[in-house]
Structure 1
């Protein structure tokens, strides 16, 4: 794929919004921009925990409760 600034890139193949924004160029830039805001939030929640991050957790809450109850009864 040729880059947007590459003279070989053909603008006539790109899609433009009514406002004149080159949609395909924006998509190419987004692909190279790194993690999104929500991806960063998810990574932080999974690696460090935090308040209000339960929607990103892959912890089995019921298993933890059962393990806690089992350890308290021992």
Structure 2
């Protein structure tokens, strides 16, 4: 381990990075997951819905 791996405060940077990689979803991954699974306002960019297909299905049921 080199001096570059330890901060002035004594934190082991390699250890922190390793623990972070094992901690689960990132903030942005969590936002995308919540948007996909719960709907909500401003979530269109996370949607996988084919709007045209939904419209055609609705119009076909009339």
Which structure's residues are more often helix, by fraction? Answer: 2
Shared topology, TM-score over 0.5?
yes
Q: Aligned partners of 1:23 and 1:32: how far apart in 2?
A: 14
The count of aligned residue pairs is 59
Whichever of the two has the greater Rg, that structure is 1
Of 25-34 and 62-71, the range deviating more from structure 2: 25-34
Note if 1:28 corresponds to 2:13.
Answer: no
User: Given the alignment, which residue of 14, 27, 45 partners 1:37?
Assistant: 27
User: Which consecutive residues of structure 2, in runs of 5 or more, have no partner in the other structure?
Assistant: none
The TM-score normalised by the length of structure 1 is: 0.60
Q: Which runs of 4+ in 1 moved over 2 A?
A: 19-27
User: Given the alignment, which residue of 29, 32, 51 partners 2:41?
Assistant: 51
What is the root-mean-square deviation in Å for CA atoms of aligned residues?
2.4
